[in-house]
Amino acid sequence: MGNKLKILFENENYLVIEKSAGIIVNRSDTTSNEITLQDLVEKENKIDLPAGRQAKNDTDEDFRKRSGIVHRLDKETSGLLIIAKNGFTFSVLQAQFKERKVSKSYVALVHGEIKPKTGDINVPIGRLPWNRKRFGVLAGGREAVTEYQVLSILYLVSNGKREPLSLVRLFPKTGRTHQIRVHLSYIGHPIFADPLYGGRKIARDDRKILPRVFLHAETISFIDPKTNQKVSYKSELPKELKKFLNSLGEVVN
């Protein structure tokens, strides 16, 4: 993404952009030395609420605070994000997320061979009391559901060992923080190169050959707030993930 937004689609009400891995979405107290996606949106003057104009209501205030960014992706996750250009579009799209009218799919590469090849993971997720930066499966957590479909099994050959990896498409039905990463780790198939949920040693070895989490927000569908028609967008895997897949062993059906 560099210092410019990578815009996949734009109209008068919203943008659909492709976020690169490594960029933080929202500003916070800990991002003062990094360029965030929010900074890029403001730099390119893409939203219709200039600083200094009086916000009409809480929605407009939230819209301005977030610079129109409707939802989030983790720093190392690449893929599709929606940015609203005005408060009305922002509120309508946020309501669609809340009402689960937005459909998304992700692609991930995980350790091991997932069986069965299709299924769902339905366990609650909450912030870990002993580590506030991490989330996990907790009895008192919030409902979290992820459906999955194994696309193929590939093999990583390293130090004379041949490890199976599953390329999987995921359909989160809820939008909990770190949901996909936590769910895959919970079933014993952590995402490749995930430093939080992949296990310290495994993640350290993974990141020697792929220095980012293998998780990509591939598709998104929602109702256009102006036309009331369903729209869908797709983002191809980034070059670094395609290159890594091509370096792996033969695909086994």
The catalytically annotated residue of 60, 74, 194, 206 is 74
Cβ partners under 8 Å of residue 53, min gap 6: none
Give the largest Cα separation in the chain, rounded: 64
| Annotation marks residue 194 as catalytic | no
Task: Please determine whether the domains at 1-99 and 103-227+235-253 fall in the same fold group of CATH.
Answer: yes
Reported as type and span, the H/E element at residue 87 is helix 87-98
The CATH classification number of 1-99 equals: 3.30.2350.10
Mind listing the pLDDT tens digit of every residue in the chain (253 residues)?
557 899 999 999 999 999 999 999 988 766 667 889 998 998 887 777 655 455 555 567 889 889 999 999 999 999 999 999 999 999 999 999 999 999 999 999 999 999 999 999 999 999 998 888 899 999 989 999 999 999 999 999 877 788 999 999 999 999 999 999 999 999 999 999 999 999 999 999 999 999 999 999 999 999 999 999 999 999 999 999 999 999 996 544 4
User: Domain 103-227+235-253 in CATH: superfamily?
Assistant: Pseudouridine synthase (3.30.2350.10)
Cβ partners under 8 Å of residue 64, min gap 6: 47, 49, 51, 55
Q: Quick one: which of 212, 216, 20, 181 has its CA closest to 107?
A: 216
Looking at residue 169, its pLDDT comes to 98
At residue 19's C-alpha, the angle toward residues 36 and 185, to 5°, is 100
Looking at residue 31, its pLDDT comes to 66
Q: Quick one: which of 217, 215, 220 has its CA closest to 244?
A: 215
Burial tier of 82 (Cβ tally within 10 Å: 0-12, 13-18, 19+): buried
Global confidence as pTM: 0.91
Per-domain residue ranges for the chain? Answer: 1-99, 103-227+235-253
The amino acid at 107:
V
- The two tokens of residue 228 are 């009331």
Give SS3 for 102: coil
Q: Quick one: which of 210, 205, 214 has its CA closest to 184?
A: 214
